Amino acid sequence: MAKVRSKGTAWAIQVAGVYVSIAQCLSMDKDEMKSEDYESDTLDNTDAGIPYDLTGRSEYGSLSAELFFDPALASHTNLLALITTPATSLHQLTFANAAPTVWTFTAASISFTGPKVALKEGLKATIKAKVSGGITFGGSPPSSGSSH
């Protein structure tokens, strides 16, 4: 069993057919993924426990990142363009393990919080991509692309 380091993990977005790394990420957070269920209790059930069944659907949540924000950096302006001109976008999350492992997904929307300006800190922002459909777990690394 390997312990995979965080440093080297990269989030990339497809721009003009090429995956481009989102530069200057400080941290990333993939929120909850879950299979969807529903309460399947009936009036004639005498058991005190509440039964649940699966709908056959899954919710894949969102991926967010805090980053040092550069308002002139192409990988950051590409994200802002998806807010001013909404469109779905293709994303890859590449882990720093030996293989490496890649998760691929389509984002239905992008949100941007910031910039955050604070004394004694660099300019920061938070981005978030809402997963549409599912995530493909595994796969090959993204095509090489610039992070600028």
In this prediction, residue 15 has a pLDDT band, given cuts at 50, 70 and 90, of: very high
Distances (CA, A) of 82 to 13, 15, 76, 91, 111: 11, 11, 10, 13, 9
pLDDT value, residue 141:
54
pLDDT in tens, 17-64: 999 999 999 999 999 999 999 999 999 999 999 999 999 999 999 999
Verify cis geometry, omega within 30 degrees of 0, for the bond prior to 115.
yes
> How much is the mean pLDDT over the chain?
91
What are the extents of the domains in the chain?
12-27+60-137
- Give pTM, 2 decimals: 0.83
Whole-angstrom distance, CA of residue 42 vs CA of residue 51 = 9
**Res. 139 pLDDT band, cuts 50 70 90:** low
DSSP calls for 76-123 = HHHHHHHHHS---EEEEEE--SSS--EEEEEEEEEEEEEEE--TTS--
